[in-house]
């Protein structure tokens, strides 16, 4: 579904991504893990067209999108949920979802309404809060709303940037259970996470990004057992030392 070859990107004179190559197959969860500053968000932003690639190739469903404008890419079915949720705080939950449905608006009001009901089924708390201002929701509820808003566009590939940031462990578990459900229902998810353990436990495959380079890749189970990953990202060595 998504294939990246030797991708280079950054900000002005700052080179962030260095010859990144990876792929995402249809119907799987792929995790990209790494510390702060590794280039994870830059990678998603470059795929989304928000950051201009300075080298390499990005193909989505066999079509090159590396030079495509950011406002065109969502219409291909490639949608990102940004870090920090970024919901429209002064609008209701339902209004946020209606905005998310603009990609399918041409299919008619009934289709948009059906997609909204699907989100309420996936996120029951949003159904209870549908008339509430998004800015008054808890952090976990805002994350669910941000995901539901993206899903309203019926994405072929859903990209999630740090969905666990600032959330309590129980809420993180709920969010990741929903991600697994999305995969089980046939969706494809590219998951960027600093919480390597949580991400790799739900993903099919993973990539470890460090200073803008892919340093490890493989099945999630193999990465969880990798001593370098355990030491650097899972805190295994610190736990065993206690």
pLDDT at 242: 28
CA distance 121 to 74: 23
2 to each of 66, 99, 126, 210, how far by Cα in Å? 12, 26, 31, 21
pLDDT at 13: 86
Strand intervals (E) in the chain: 2-11, 14-24, 29-33, 53-60, 63-64, 78-81, 157-161, 188-193, 205-210, 213-219
CA distance 136 to 118: 23
pLDDT tens-place string over residues 43-98: 999 999 999 999 999 999 999 999 999 999 999 999 999 888 789 999 999 999 99
Order of strands, edge to edge, in the sheet holding 29-33?
A: 78-81, 157-161, 188-193, 29-33, 205-210, 213-219
What value, to the nearest 5°, has the Cα angle with vertex 205 and ends 65 and 147?
Answer: 60
pLDDT tens-place string over residues 3-47: 999 999 999 889 999 999 999 999 999 999 998 889 999 999 999
CA distance 173 to 227: 24
Domain 1-77+158-242 fold? Rossmann fold (3.40.50)
Domain range list for the chain: 1-77+158-242, 85-154
CA distance 48 to 70: 6
Confidence of residue 116 (pLDDT cuts 50, 70, 90): very high
Q: Residue 138: pLDDT above 70?
A: yes
- The model's pTM: 0.90
Query: In 105-235, where does DSSP find H-type helix?
Result: 109-122, 124-128, 139-151, 169-184, 196-202, 220-225, 227-229
């Amino acid at each position: 579904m998504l294939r990246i070859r030797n991708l280079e990107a950054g900000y002005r004179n700052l080179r962030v991504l260095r010859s990144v190559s990876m792929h995402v197959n249809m119907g799987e969860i792929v995790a990209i893990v790494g510390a702060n500053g590794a280039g994870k968000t830059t990678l998603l932003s470059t795929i989304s067209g928000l950051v201009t690639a300075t080298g390499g190739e990005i193909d989505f469903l066999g079509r090159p999108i590396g030079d495509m404008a950011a406002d065109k890419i969502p219409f291909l079915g490639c949608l990102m949920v940004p870090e920090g949720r970024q919901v429209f705080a002064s609008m209701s939950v339902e209004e946020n979802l209606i905005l998310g449905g603009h990609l399918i608006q041409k299919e008619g009001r009934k289709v948009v309404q059906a997609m909204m009901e699907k989100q309420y089924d996936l996120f029951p708390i949003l159904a209870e809060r549908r008339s509430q201002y998004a800015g008054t929701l808890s952090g976990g509820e805002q994350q669910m709303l941000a995901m539901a808003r993206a899903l309203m566009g019926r994405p072929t590939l859903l990209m999630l940037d740090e969905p666990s940031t600032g959330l309590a462990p129980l809420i993180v578990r709920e969010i990741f259970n929903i991600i697994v459900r999305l995969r089980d229902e046939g969706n494809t998810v590219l998951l960027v996470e600093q919480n390597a353990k949580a991400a790799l436990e739900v993903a099919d495959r993973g990539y470890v990004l460090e200073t803008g380079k892919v340093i490890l890749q493989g099945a999630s189970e193999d990465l969880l057992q990798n001593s370098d990953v355990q030491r650097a990202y899972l805190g295994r060595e610190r736990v065993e030392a206690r």
